[in-house]
Structure 1
Amino acid sequence: MIRLILTVALCVITAILAVWLTLNPGTASFEFLGWQAETSFALFMGVLIVAAFLLTVLWWLIAKMWGAPDAWRKLRRRRRRDQGVDALERALIAAAAGEGELAVRQAARADALLERPALSRLLAARAAEAAGNLLAARGHYEALLEDPRTRMVAHRGLSVLAETQGETANVITHAGKAFAEARTARWAFDSLFNAQIAAARWDEALETLSEGEKRRHIAPDSAARRRAVVLTVKARQMRQSDAEKAAELAEKAAHASPGFAPAAVLAGDLLPSRRRHRKAADILETAWRLHPHPAIARAYGDLRKSDTAAKRAARLRALAEFNPDHRESRLLLTGIALQQGNMDAARSAITPLLAENPLSARICTLAARLSRLEGDEDAAQRYLARAAHAPGEPDWSDIDGNGEAFNFAEADWQRLVYAWGDEERLIHPRHERFEMIAEAIPDRILLEAPKRAAKETSTPEAGTDSGSVIIAPAPLPDRETRKREETPSAGPRFAPDDPGVGDDD
């Protein structure tokens, strides 16, 4: 619309000017080297305009001819750049699609057409990776280390290659350099921490985790949970060589993640030997309140070895009150009630658990003992039969045949760093590998549950503490159980999955 208005206005002005020149023709005269000329002013202006136009065209042609070589060179460079960009695009697409050979060819073509050595080397490295030629890719990345602009991408590429080939030491080297040079490179933190965990370099992993938390590469809650796992591993490694330091690390781990059962149980085991029973109890109570676990109950019951069975039972009942609606609390109360012969309390605690589907072997065991105590032999046998085929409980599998909790392999702890740190979830390696104690529950152990008319306690032998709490599973029948069969028993035996109060310490 604006152009149309301007065109109309120009036409109007031209028409007005033509009319004015017609009404006022005037004359124009010239004299040059004896030559004289006289004409109308309108004709003179027309000739002047045409001459100016011709001179402008002539000057344009001369300028074009003068700059033709440079223009030709620029045209060629532009075409090469366009071809190089096209080859670069094709190489990137081929590398992303996994077409290694095509990516290598296009990368070589882009290198020949583009005068960008850094970009060409990076593209060649990616193409070599896509083609599976890791040795060539490593060479290209190492060449990129020479340029400060591409040093970070070179470290990342070499770190990825080393991780692919399982070279943990090289991952730590390159990711560590990148982590030290670039504060915003989150990949460097992830790669370095993962490699340090894989290499079991726990101290270095703690330092990296602290620095990554300062740089906000990881959320504070995830960092705290990861730190708790690493500190627990260190404490377990030092419990024999430096018990004082191990207790300190276990306490730090429990404070970092209060609901982390392995840290709480370890602190509950180490702190009492330092005469810090109250602190150990606080840690275990907090852990039970957040994430109940049978190993926590076992550690809580063993805080004071000199306590009688009644005191330990009372302490365990108090522990269950910290999280009364949780199934572990109900299982704990059921076991205590069964051991004391309190049928009503046992039935009240276990009834909500009997609605689970399917019932676990642990619940079936407790139900069989209760039925036996109530004098219902048929129900006891039915629960016994179900227990033989019922699934085990993952939490209970964390206690091994020797009664030790969370006796995991190094690879399991490495996995737990991420399971608990990122998901707040415990893993159960023995359950996953079907290593649970007493897969088929021995009939004789269940049949020895106290009957309704039988005495609930027996007189302990001299020098024996009658206040032990049985929280761990029963030992394997072919080792400890057979040994016990050959030795006279000082009291009733319990089912493997019964966290009751025993008569032996």
Structure 2
Amino acid sequence: MRRALKFIVILVVLLALAWWIGSLPGTVTAHSGSYTVETSVPAAVLLLFLAGLIVVVVLRLLGAVRRAPHGFGAWRGGRRQRLGQIATERGIVALAAGDAAGARAEAGRAAKLLGDTPLVLVLRAEAARLAGLPAEAQAAFKQLTTQPGMAFLGHRGLLRQSVAVGDHEVAQIHAEAAEAAYPGSAWLKNKRRELALARQDYPAALALTREPRHVAALATAAARSAADPRAALGFARQAVKADPALAPAVVALAESLRAADKPRAATKALLEGWKTAPHRMLAAAYFAGFGTPIERAQAAGALAAQNPGHVESELALAQTALEAKLTGEARRHAEAARALGGDQGRAAAVLAALDGAPPPAIAPAGWTCEECYSSFPGWAASCPNCHKIGTLKPGAPGTNLA
């Protein structure tokens, strides 16, 4: 309704204007040499309007002709942009599908249409990496490091390539550059920790984690490898605080305390560790502080009192009693250990020694990974199979079950 009313108003105004012009009196005369043109005022106004309209149309046409090359270029550029975006999208899909040849073809097409834009460089690099062309991928990643805001992706790609060929020194350089380009990346922190582990730089790896399981394992390894006794003691204390049940950490603490001429503190640490989680490693470290068999047999009572009734406590009492020739005590505790189970044949070995029988096979202490279930005879900060940190727990040694 409002539109119809507006149209009627405009129509009325135009009709009124036309009527007013048509009613103008007088004539208009124009002379040009011997020619004379005479017309009424309304006709002259109409001719003047038509002349102005023609001028406007001509000027518009001239402007369109002048802008035609630029407009064609813009149209062509827009078309290249659209085709380049399509090629980039197809390349990304090919990467996700594992189609190396298709990804490289689309990356080349995108580069021709768009040039070496950051996204095209990423596509080229990843396509080359997927196709097994490290030199081509490296060139694209290097070029990417010069792009503002994209340096992290370039150094990330170069870092992965360096790790793949085992060049940890170059990998460390790119890790530091990537950290500077994008501080605080969780992925980069994990990768830097892996590099530190590969270099056996346990303090550096320790500085990159706060997870208690990781801290305990890495601090234990750092204490074992530290040349400075004070540093070793600090790492060992950090490890035990993170995981009081980790036997290697408790042993590292005891050894560090003994190196610092603190034997009583070392003994106390081992007793606390035994109270938390008995392990034959703790028993071996504990009895190393006593010189004679009878001293070890007497000390075994204090150790077993921290966790009475545990199979490891009974075994410690039985083995030290056997060594001190306390046969009655040795038999009593060996039978108690065998009844409890989980002695890996050690109780039977004590009884066999008492009876003069051939010793049975004893399963050595082993460590099993909680992640991949691989087993190993010795403890390490990270699983030698799956490389996860702090996953080795006491268990029977065996082979890789993954």
Q: What TM-score do you get using the length of structure 2 for normalisation?
A: 0.72
Greater CA drift, 114-123 or 414-423: 414-423
**Residue 129 and residue 396 in structure 1: after superposition, are their counterparts in 2 closer, same or farther (change >3 A)?**
closer
Equivalent position SS for 1:166: coil
- The 8 Å contact of residues 317 and 333 in structure 1, kept in 2 or not, is answered as yes
Q: Which residue of 2 aligns with 1:320?
A: 307
Q: Which residue of 2 aligns with 1:227?
A: 218
Shift of 1:330: 5.5
Alignment of 1:300-379 (within 5 A): 300-305=286-291, 308-321=295-308, 327-329=311-313, 331-332=315-316, 341-342=328-329, 350-351=338-339, 353-354=340-341, 362-366=343-347
- The 8 Å contact of residues 225 and 421 in structure 1, kept in 2 or not, is answered as no
Q: Which residue of 1 aligns with 2:397?
A: 431
Inter-partner Cα distance in structure 1 for 2:217 and 2:367: 23
Inter-partner Cα distance in structure 2 for 1:273 and 1:61: 96
Q: Which residue of 1 aligns with 2:165?
A: 165
Are 2:283 and 1:297 equivalent residues in the alignment? yes
Shift of 1:81: 0.7
Are 2:3 and 1:10 equivalent residues in the alignment? yes
Q: What residue ranges of structure 1 are gaps of 5+ in the alignment?
A: 1-7, 213-217, 355-359, 398-405, 435-505
**Residue 194 and residue 273 in structure 1: after superposition, are their counterparts in 2 closer, same or farther (change >3 A)?**
closer
Shift of 1:94: 2.4
Alignment of 1:187-336 (within 5 A): 187-200=187-200, 202=201, 205-207=202-204, 209-210=206-207, 212=208, 218-235=209-226, 238=227, 250-251=236-237, 253-255=239-241, 257-272=243-258, 274-305=260-291, 308-321=295-308, 327-329=311-313, 331-332=315-316
CA RMSD of aligned residues (A): 4.8
Shift of 1:336: 6.6
Shift of 1:293: 1.5
Shift of 1:10: 1.9
Inter-partner Cα distance in structure 1 for 2:188 and 2:367: 38
Question: Once the two structures are superposed, what CA deviation does each residue of 1:408-458 show, in whole Å capped at 9, x if it has no partner?
Answer: 59xx555479878454x3377x92369xxxxxxxxxxxxxxxxxxxxxxxx
- The 8 Å contact of residues 125 and 141 in structure 1, kept in 2 or not, is answered as yes
- The 8 Å contact of residues 198 and 414 in structure 1, kept in 2 or not, is answered as no
Shift of 1:197: 1.7
AA aligned to 2:347 is L
**Residue 347 and residue 61 in structure 1: after superposition, are their counterparts in 2 closer, same or farther (change >3 A)?**
same
Equivalent position SS for 2:393: coil
Q: Which residue of 2 aligns with 1:112?
A: 112
Equivalent position SS for 2:79: helix
Are 2:125 and 1:125 equivalent residues in the alignment? yes
**Residue 313 and residue 13 in structure 1: after superposition, are their counterparts in 2 closer, same or farther (change >3 A)?**
closer
Greater CA drift, 254-263 or 327-336: 327-336
Equivalent position SS for 1:392: coil
Equivalent position SS for 2:291: coil
Equivalent position SS for 2:138: helix
Shift of 1:131: 1.4
Shift of 1:136: 1.9
Inter-partner Cα distance in structure 2 for 1:91 and 1:125: 11
Q: Which residue of 2 aligns with 1:443?
A: none
Inter-partner Cα distance in structure 2 for 1:14 and 1:145: 63
- The 8 Å contact of residues 107 and 120 in structure 1, kept in 2 or not, is answered as yes
Question: Once the two structures are superposed, what CA deviation does each residue of 1:210-229 show, in whole Å capped at 9, x if it has no partner?
Answer: 2x3xxxxx434245224313
- The 8 Å contact of residues 189 and 208 in structure 1, kept in 2 or not, is answered as no
Structure possessing the higher relative contact order (Cα contacts under 8 Å, 6 or more residues apart): 1
Equivalent position SS for 1:432: coil
Question: Once the two structures are superposed, what CA deviation does each residue of 1:62-114 show, in whole Å capped at 9, x if it has no partner?
Answer: 65455333221111001111111112222222233332233222222211110
**Residue 368 and residue 130 in structure 1: after superposition, are their counterparts in 2 closer, same or farther (change >3 A)?**
closer
Q: What TM-score do you get using the length of structure 1 for normalisation?
A: 0.59
Q: Which residue of 2 aligns with 1:33?
A: 28
**Residue 17 and residue 332 in structure 1: after superposition, are their counterparts in 2 closer, same or farther (change >3 A)?**
same
Greater CA drift, 154-163 or 111-120: 111-120
Q: What residue ranges of structure 2 are gaps of 5+ in the alignment?
A: 30-38, 369-375
Q: Which residue of 2 aligns with 1:215?
A: none
